[in-house]
Amino acid sequence: MMQLSRVYVVGGGGDKGNKGVAVGSVCSAVCGAICKLCSWVGDALRIGTGAAVLGLVFAYVGWFYYNQRMKTSDDPRQQNLKALIPLKHYSYAQVKRITKSFTQVVGKGGFGTVYRGTLCDGRSVAVKILKDSKSNGEDFINEVASMSKTSHVNIVDLLGFCSEGSKRAIVYEYLENGSLDKFISNKTPVDIDWMTLYRIALGVARGLEYLHHGCKTRIVHFDIKPHNVLLDDNLCPKLSDFGLAKLCEKKESILSLLDTRGTIGYIAPELFSRMYGRVSHKSDVYSYGMLVLEMMGARNKERAGQNSESNASSMYFPEWIYKDLEKGDSGKHNRNVITSEEEEIAKKMTLVGLWCIQPSPSDRPLMNRVVEMMEGSVDSLEVPHRPVFQIPAAPFQETSTLSEDISSYKDVCSMDVA
């Protein structure tokens, strides 16, 4: 620009020279204005660029902070993982060594295989190796997080866990007598008397009472059945297999599940249809009632199969028990009742079982009330009303375990109304 100014300033004399000077002055003014404009634009661009960069920095910091809060506060999986911290962590190599390369299988379930193992101090343990599932480890988190929050004589003790890549294992105490189902399904020559049956049923009730009312956070098991009740050397029952368990605040115990969970024959009807009520800890009460009736032989499968038309509904409510009560034959379903004391125990267990399996959750007692009923006198128990039962729309396969097919769900809690 300065060169252009000089060209116009250098001119001939006379008018032409004056014109050259005038033109040069104009160009100088224009060039000066352009320079100022360029300088202003440059400053503006620098300021704008700096502001934009600063804005991007603030936006990134805000996004990062929000993302971290979402991970640590709002993600239930991360909340559950916090419960794992105080537990002993085993490497997969240690698990393999404990189980002697997985040589002794003691059980199989919907989520994996259980092996017997021995710790370095000589203690026998049960090691559950979880198989891969669509739930992306949700069952593993459920079980470890739930069991790590418990400490009760009727709950299996959790000793540690393994989480190494896709390999997951749970280590808990080993119970020599195995599960209850082999004792009540004639899979063992051991005959359990009525008093022992009663003590087992009472122990299971106390364990559930603890999960529902004794923990800081309510735990709903969702898979109460004989296979998940383990017995120690003294036949003391302990609840196990928390793979389907859900944690919920005591004031917010109503749960909304995207899928049915549990085992056919023990699943509460509200898990299939909302017409029966909302899913809650009362669903465990129903499963407990079915467990008690099966312990007594009241759910005799041969008897249920005598009437194919009612077979499906009998999976949810064995109505013939009312007829036995009317005849005074309570407790004589599948076991021999000899003494008056045994007859009283049988009647008490029958009545408690019937109260627990009422189709409507609001008609079922809470587990703390169930314990009171089991510990109290049979004379204080009334026969529950006989409900009109409609069959839920679901497949009826006695051997089906829906827990294997469940992968997605969410907790939606609202105030408990029952």
The Cα 272–Cα 390 span in angstroms is 12
Asked if residue 351 is part of any domain, the answer here is: yes
**221 and 150 belong to one structural domain:** no
CB 349 within 8 A of CB 200: no
The Cα 264–Cα 230 span in angstroms is 20
Asked if residue 5 is part of any domain, the answer here is: no
What CATH number should be reported for the domain holding residue 129? 3.30.200.20
**185 and 169 belong to one structural domain:** no
Active centre residues (catalytic) = 223
Query: What are the strands of the beta sheet with 105-108, ordered from one edge?
Result: 88-89, 158-164, 167-173, 124-130, 112-118, 105-108
**Partners of 118 in the beta sheet?**
124
**284 and 377 belong to one structural domain:** yes
Asked if residue 55 is part of any domain, the answer here is: no
Q: What is the pTM of this model?
A: 0.70
**296 and 241 belong to one structural domain:** yes
Alpha helices in 210-339 (DSSP H): 282-296, 301-304, 308-314, 320-327
- pLDDT tens string, the chain, 418 residues long: the values are 444 444 444 444 444 455 444 445 544 655 565 556 556 545 655 666 656 656 665 666 566 655 555 444 444 554 455 455 578 889 999 999 999 999 999 988 767 899 999 999 999 999 999 877 555 577 788 788 888 888 899 999 999 999 888 889 999 999 989 999 888 876 666 778 899 999 999 999 999 999 999 988 899 999 999 999 999 999 999 999 888 888 887 665 555 554 555 678 898 888 887 788 888 999 999 999 999 998 987 555 444 444 444 455 556 667 777 777 777 666 555 556 678 888 899 899 999 999 999 999 999 999 999 999 999 999 999 988 887 765 555 444 433 335 433 332 233 333 333 4
**221 and 96 belong to one structural domain:** no
Asked if residue 59 is part of any domain, the answer here is: no
Asked if residue 99 is part of any domain, the answer here is: yes
Residue at which a domain ends, from 154, 173, 192: 173
Residue 76: exposed, middle, or buried by beta-carbon count in 10 A (0-12, 13-18, 19+)? middle
Q: List the domain range (segments joined by +) for residue 298.
A: 181-405
Q: Is residue 323 a known part of a binding site?
A: no
Residue at which a domain ends, from 173, 196, 225: 173
The Cα 382–Cα 376 span in angstroms is 12
The Cα 279–Cα 268 span in angstroms is 9
**289 and 146 belong to one structural domain:** no
